Amino acid sequence: MKKVYTRPKTLKEAHFHYCPGCGHGIINRLLMEVVDEMDLREKAICVAPAGCGMLLYNYFDIDTLESAHGRGAAVATGIKRVRPENLVFSYQGDGDLAAIGTAEGFHAANRGEPISVIFVNNGVYGMTGGQMAPTTLTDQVTTTTPLGRDPILAGHPVKICEVFAMLDGTVYLERVTVNNPAAVLKAKKAIKKAFQCQLDGKGFSLVEILSPCPTNWKMGPVEACRWIDEVMTKQFPLGVVKEVS
C-alpha cells in the first residue's frame, strides 16, 4: 500500500494544546512540512510569540526562542544579523504584530530584514479569552466589544499586508487561509515562497494566515471555516498583496 501522508519529521509527537477547530495546529504542521521538504531543520531558527502560538516549541523540533509579546521581528532581526546563513522566522498573532509589536514589525519590514514573518490573523486575542484584536472585523462581537466593534470608538481592522506593501523593504506579502484543503495547500505554497525569498536574500517576507478560532468566535469548527469565506475574506481579501521578482 502506498503511504500518502505522514507526520513531518520535525513535528514532535506531542498532543497540540489548541482548541478543536483552531487553525494553529494546521499552521504548525504546515511549517514543519515546509522545513522538512526544504531540508531546513539544521538552518531554521524560530521566534515564538506570546499568545496561543507561544507553546509551539513543544511541537517544533527546531531551534526556538520565545520572544516577549510583540518583539518577534526585533529579536529575529538580532538573530539574523548575527547568523545571516540561517533561516529565521517569527510566528506572530494579530495582537502581537498588529498592535503591541507594530513598530518592530513595520521597521524590520522597512529595513528589508531578510526574515520571514508568519502572521496568524484570527481576529481576536485568543489566549486571554477573546478580546478585541486590531484585526477584529467591523461589528464583530468580542468580550471587549460586546455590542460589536464600532469603528468610531474602536477603529478599523488593521490590514498589515496592505500597510507593509507600501514599504520598499518588503519583497513578498501574501494573505492566505487554512479553512479548506485547497486553501491549506495554497498556504503551504506561500510559506515555501516566503522562506525561499529569505534564502535568496531578497528581503522581508510575510504570510498572513486567516485562521479559525471557533472558541472565541463562539462557533462550531465548520461554521468558523464558513465564516472565514463569507465574512472575514470580505474585509481581508486573499491573495498575493506584493511580490517583487
Binding site for another protein (CB under 8 A): 41-45, 47-48, 50, 54-55, 57, 60-68, 71, 74-83, 86-87, 103-104, 106-107, 111
| Shortest distance, position 69 Cβ to another protein, whole Å | 9
DSSP label at residue 52: G
> Which contacts qualify for 231-236: CB closer than 8 Å, 24 or more apart?
231/137, 232/123, 232/137, 232/177, 233/177, 235/137, 235/138, 235/157, 236/121, 236/135, 236/157, 236/159, 236/175, 236/208, 236/210
Q: CB-wise, 74 or 207, nearer to another protein?
A: 74
- Cβ contacts of residue 81 below 8 Å, gap of 6+? 113
| Shortest distance, position 54 Cβ to another protein, whole Å | 6
Instruction: Give the number of residues written for the chain.
Output: 245
Q: CB-wise, 64 or 144, nearer to another protein?
A: 64
Query: Beta strands 63-66 and 87-93: pairing type?
Result: unpaired
| Shortest distance, position 157 Cβ to another protein, whole Å | 23
User: What angle (nearest 5°) sits at the alpha carbon of residue 157, between those of residues 113 and 205?
Assistant: 20
130 to 86, 127, 133, 135, 169: CA distances (angstroms): 35, 7, 8, 12, 33
| Shortest distance, position 202 Cβ to another protein, whole Å | 19
Q: CB-wise, 83 or 156, nearer to another protein?
A: 83
Q: CB-wise, 61 or 229, nearer to another protein?
A: 61
Q: CB-wise, 50 or 209, nearer to another protein?
A: 50
| Shortest distance, position 61 Cβ to another protein, whole Å | 5
Q: CB-wise, 36 or 61, nearer to another protein?
A: 61
| Shortest distance, position 214 Cβ to another protein, whole Å | 23
The residue assigned the cell 481581508 is 236
Q: What residues are paired with 215 via a beta bridge? A: none
Q: What residues are paired with 48 via a beta bridge? A: 66
